[in-house]
Structures are given as structure tokens and as C-alpha cells.
Amino acid sequence: MKENAMQHQPLYLQIKETLKKQILEGKYVPYQKMPSESELMASFGVSRITVRQALRDLHREGLIFTTQGKGTFASKPKAMQEVQHLEGFEEAMNSQGYETSAQLVSIREINPSKDVQDKLNIHSKEGAVEVIRVRYLNREPVSVDTSFFPMQIGRHLFARDLGRDIFPLLENELNIPLGRAEISLEARPADANIAKLLQMEPGAPIMWVQRLTHDVNNHPVDYEYLAFRGDSYKYHFHVERDRTRTPGKQGGL
């Protein structure tokens, strides 16, 4: 059924999916040289334009990279999350066919830092609940998630299954409909604790994400520090130009 559906795709997509499958299944290991454009043209019986479109898509997904004068090589596959809607890690990855799981490191009541207080709009004396988990993608650690909740929400989490996404848990079990999130990203070196949990060297690059999630009434319900392995995960944003902007008088592109 899947093969029949694939036959109805444009040729460049068929080639892309074939090469993608070969990379993900290990036929081409990371940093192994891929066939040249001419070899792919002969192998698939297509034009150079078709091959290049397939390679562009593979490059966009982080599955290959090109070195000037040396050729195209397989990359270590990176999971990509399309940031168009508010969704949890499991929701985003399972829809792409990845296997996900989570291991609870700790859950405890804390005296929140000033940063957590400000984001969750709480006072120090109210306390908060901190949840630390390691998230796994295809059974390999990909992120360390540190989540903070106001006490009235967090106290319900102690008896819940935290080996899965928290977003559906908040909505379906605690009846907290989610609305929007504010997300910021930056590159950081992994500290010793995060490096140990992610099975990487201290100081190796991680993608540090801060996400503040609100409910539909605009009340903050979940503030998170997400530390992703820089070699395993990436975000992809789709943005459009605001057409209500008034064109400036100064020149430019």
C-alpha cells in the first residue's frame, strides 16, 4: 500500500524517500560519501534537475551535507520538529514515525527561582513543582526537560504517568486547555549533569530552549528549560511576511 502510494509521488520525492530510508536504516552511515549526481541519474533514470531537487530536500532535513570539491555525505539523522502549532515532543515525533519515551529523573516541590516566579506569575512562598525528565528518540537520549508548574497544577502530577507527553495530560486529565507558548532558543555548552544524562561530553553543544506555555485564558501553566543534543534535533519554523506593514522609504532588498 505504501509502495503504491509512493509510485504516485513526483519522481524527486520517490528518490528522496528511497535515499532517506537507506540513510535511516544505515546503508549510508554518518560521513559516508553518497553517490554522485551522475550516478543517481543513471541509477534512477532521471534528469539532473530531478536528482538535485531530491538532494535539496534531503539537505533541508539534515540527512546529507556537501563539502566543496569533495562531494555529498550522509549526516547523522536529526529529528526535525515543525513549529507551526503548539505540540509536545511525543506528539510531534510520533506523527513522523519516531519511537519516543521519557524517563523521570525527579519530581519535587521547590522554592522557585526569580526567573521561574516571574514566568509563572507566582510568589516564592507559594512554591512550585519541578519535573526533570530525559526524553528518548528511537531509544537514544535526545533532551533533558526541566519543567516548572504552579503548585495548584504540579501537585496533581505526583501520581501521574510522566513517561509520556505532559501537554495531553494537562488537557485530558487535568482539564486545562492549552492556548499559546512563547519559545526562545540559543546555543550553549552542556554542563556536566546534562552531558551525563545525554551521554555526551561536557561542553559539547546543546540547543537550549525556554518555553512558557499558557492556557486558553492566558494564564501561565508550564515553564520549561529544554536541553537538546545539538547533533540529534532541530526546530524548523515557517513564517510569513506581515502584509500589514507599511513599506519603508529607505532602500533595501
pLDDT at 170: 93
Among candidates 95, 30, 110, which has minimal Cα distance to 64? 30
**Which residue reads 518555553 in cell numbers?**
211
Domain parsing of the chain, residue ranges? 7-74, 79-237
**Rounded CA gap, 79 and 162, in Å?**
22
C-alpha cell at 46: 532521471
Residue 58, pLDDT > 60, answer yes
As assigned by CATH, the class of the 7-74 domain is mainly alpha
Measured in whole angstroms, the distance separating CA 186 from the mean position of its chain's CA atoms is 14
pTM: 0.67
- Residue 112: how many CB atoms within 10 A of its CB? 24
Residue 38, pLDDT > 70, answer yes
C-alpha cell at 249: 522609504
**First CA to last CA across the chain, in angstroms?**
47
Listed in sequence order, the residues at least 6 apart from 165 whose beta carbon sits closer than 8 Å to its beta carbon are 88, 89, 90, 91
Superfamily grouping for domain 79-237: Chorismate lyase-like (3.40.1410.10)
Mean pLDDT, all residues of the chain: 86
**Which residue reads 546503508 in cell numbers?**
27
Tell me which of 22 and 240 has the higher pLDDT: 22
Same fold, 7-74 and 79-237: no
C-alpha cell at 205: 553543544
Strand order in the sheet with 128-137: 100-110, 128-137, 140-150, 220-229, 205-215, 178-189
Mean pLDDT, range 128-156, rounded to an integer:
93
pLDDT at 1: 40
C-alpha cell at 66: 556537501
Residues shown for the chain: 253
**Residue pLDDT, tens place only, 167-226:** 999 999 999 999 999 989 899 999 999 999 999 999 999 989 999 999 999 999 999 999
**Residue pLDDT, tens place only, 145-158:** 999 999 999 999 99
